[in-house]
């Protein structure tokens, strides 16, 4: 990463380095290198302050699903700003886009998930789910049902509660988390299962672990299980066949609510508006979503509840409680207008069908990289993929973290006009859904060259 050569961008670079506290940043390297300033964009490409163009292989942060530079998104947003840019939805006020988008989400979500609460992103959607679940069980008179079970390597966000539910241990280093309410079970990563174990046995073992954990904590104390259909930030872990269905059955057996965190997987990344039912055959009790809901054009998240949960939380409460949960920007009309336009574009351009076609090609082409000496695993589905780099393909031993292999590959890609995300020793790919065959071919060729260059460096 280098300082822009262009004078006005150099000023931006300096202001940013001196005053902007970046999220998720290693400040030791940040203070040296500052940021790459992104100044322009179009479809699957972004452009830096010096005019260099990059194919954005990560869709911003798994979110720019319809691609950059959509004029009709700009118009829909501007129109809403002109009409009514804000009104509070507390109590009995609403706006047209907030109501229309809620109805649209109810139509798209599986089963009887018909009730939508809005926040500004994925973390808040998950925090909201916890508050609602606690309120729900309180109203049912099951006040001891409070505990949440989630998985090692699951990622659920960065608010205090969402980060506590997150199971990526690296993310907890140096911070505190809530340890009374949240409990983790292990990650269903087929690549790292014990040698010789069948996928079915591995799956059953993970499901049994959930049941054991519920029994250990006491079913009367366990309120909910949180899971992403495919773990994203934990390394794009696709669980073994049947895993989510078996897990849901255990949850049902013990009256534990199943929260499907679809912050990444919803809105087309796996070729469906929601992946829980269409890809994994489950109808959860709650779905949380964000990111692709507006394709990142404006901040918006949603917590979508089943009829049963809504029925309980919306009844007059014996103790006089009302639903005291909400944010100034819940149901922000401009964000909701962006969400409606985004879904309209996705439907009109049949982007889910496009992902199902192109995603199969993308997966197949990425798997050709498995012939490279450090590529141990290529996994994921459709437009949510990951390359795991290892020191030894037989033993799956990791490359020394000091080698920063994921960063090296990402840097080589960037120098060749492709942005991919380093995730420890892995590289993650989550491109805009408008990706064509030519874009995919460029990505694969660039990744191959970059991994080969990295192998040379590590020799
Ligand atoms: N859940 C999942 C699965 C995510 O990947 C993320 C963010 O990457 C979040 C929740 C948190 O979303 P946000 O960063 O919008 O708060």
19-30, pLDDT tens digit by residue?
999 999 999 999
Name the one residue in this structure whose structure tokens are 């300033």: 37
Task: Take residue 260 and report the two structure tokens written for it.
Answer: 């499907």
pLDDT in tens, 39-90: 999 999 999 999 999 999 999 999 999 999 999 999 999 999 999 999 999 9
Is the Cβ atom of 264 under 6 angstroms away from ligand 1? yes
How many other C-beta atoms can be found within 10 angstroms of the C-beta atom of residue 204?
Answer: 15
Residue 155 alpha carbon to ligand 1 centre in Å: 7
Confidence of residue 2 (pLDDT cuts 50, 70, 90): low
Read off the pLDDT of residues 99-116 as tens digits, 9 standing for 90 and up. Answer: 999 999 999 999 999 999
Over 90: is that where the pLDDT of 4 sits? Answer: no
Pocket test for ligand 1, best of 65, 264, 292 (most atoms within 8 A of CB): 264
123 CB within 6 A, ligand 1: yes
Pairing of strands 301-306, 286-289: antiparallel
Q: Whose CA is nearest to atom 1 of ligand 1?
A: 156
CA distance 140 to 183: 23
For residue 95, report the distance from its CA to the centre of ligand 1, in Å. Answer: 26
Look at phi and psi of residue 202 and say left if phi exceeds 0, alpha if psi is from -120 to 50, else beta. alpha
**Residue 156 CA to ligand 1 centre (angstroms):** 5
226 Cβ closer than 6 Å to some ligand 1 atom: no
Buried b (16+ CB within 10 A) or exposed e, 393-413: eeeeebbeeebbbbbbbbbbb
Residues 331/298, Cβ–Cβ less than 8 Å: no
Q: How far is the CA of 422 from the centre of ligand 1 (A)?
A: 17
Half-sphere exposure of 283 (CA within 13 A, CB side): 10
Cα(105) to centroid(ligand 1), Å: 19
Q: What three-state secondary structure class fits 288? A: strand
The pTM score is 0.97
pLDDT bin (cut points 50, 70, 90) of residue 438 is very high
Does ligand 1 have an atom closer than 6 angstroms to the CB of 290?
Answer: yes
């Amino acid at each position: 990463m280098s300082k822009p050569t262009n004078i006005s961008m150099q000023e931006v670079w300096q202001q940013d380095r001196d005053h902007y506290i970046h999220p998720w940043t290693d400040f030791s390297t940040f203070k040296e290198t500052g940021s790459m300033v992104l100044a322009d964009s179009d479809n699957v490409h972004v452009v830096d302050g010096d005019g260099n163009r990059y194919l954005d292989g990560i869709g911003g942060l798994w979110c720019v699903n319809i691609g950059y530079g959509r004029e009709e998104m700009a118009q829909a947003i501007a129109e809403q700003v002109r009409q009514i840019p804000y009104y509070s939805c507390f109590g009995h006020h609403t706006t047209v886009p907030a109501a229309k988008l809620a109805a649209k989400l109810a139509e798209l979500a599986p089963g009887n998930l018909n009730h939508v609460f809005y926040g500004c992103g994925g973390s808040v959607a998950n925090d909201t789910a916890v508050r609602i679940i606690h309120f729900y069980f309180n109203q049912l008179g099951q006040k001891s049902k409070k505990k949440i079970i989630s998985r090692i390597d699951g990622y659920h966000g960065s608010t205090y509660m969402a980060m506590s539910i997150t199971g990526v241990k690296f993310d907890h280093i140096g911070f505190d988390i809530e340890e009374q309410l949240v409990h983790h079970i292990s990650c269903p990563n087929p690549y790292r299962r014990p040698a010789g174990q069948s996928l079915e046995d591995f799956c059953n073992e993970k499901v049994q672990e959930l049941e054991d954990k519920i029994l250990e904590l006491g079913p009367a104390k366990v309120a909910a299980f949180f899971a992403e259909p495919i773990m994203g930030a934990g390394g794009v872990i696709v669980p073994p066949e049947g895993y989510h269905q078996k897990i849901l059955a255990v949850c049902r057996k013990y009256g534990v609510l199943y929260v499907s965190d679809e912050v990444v997987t919803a809105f087309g990344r796996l070729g469906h508006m929601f992946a829980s039912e269409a890809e994994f055959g489950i109808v959860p009790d709650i779905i949380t979503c964000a990111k692709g809901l507006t394709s990142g054009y404006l901040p918006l998240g949603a917590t979508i509840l089943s009829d049963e949960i809504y029925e309980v939380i919306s009844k007059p409460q014996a103790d006089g409680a009302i639903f005291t949960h909400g944010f100034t920007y819940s149901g922000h009309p401009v964000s909701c207008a962006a969400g409606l336009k985004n879904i309209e574009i996705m439907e009109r351009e049949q982007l889910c069908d496009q992902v199902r076609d192109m995603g199969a090609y993308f997966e197949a082409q990425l798997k050709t990289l498995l012939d490279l000496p450090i590529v141990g695993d290529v996994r994921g589905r459709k437009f949510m993929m990951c390359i795991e780099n290892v020191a030894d393909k037989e033993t799956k031993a990791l490359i020394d973290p000091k080698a920063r292999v994921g960063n090296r590959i990402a840097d080589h890609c960037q120098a060749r006009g492709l942005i991919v995300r380093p995730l420890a020793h892995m590289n993650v790919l989550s491109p805009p859904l408008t990706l064509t065959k030519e874009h995919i071919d460029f990505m694969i060729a660039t990744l191959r060259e970059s991994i080969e260059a990295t192998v040379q460096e590590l020799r």
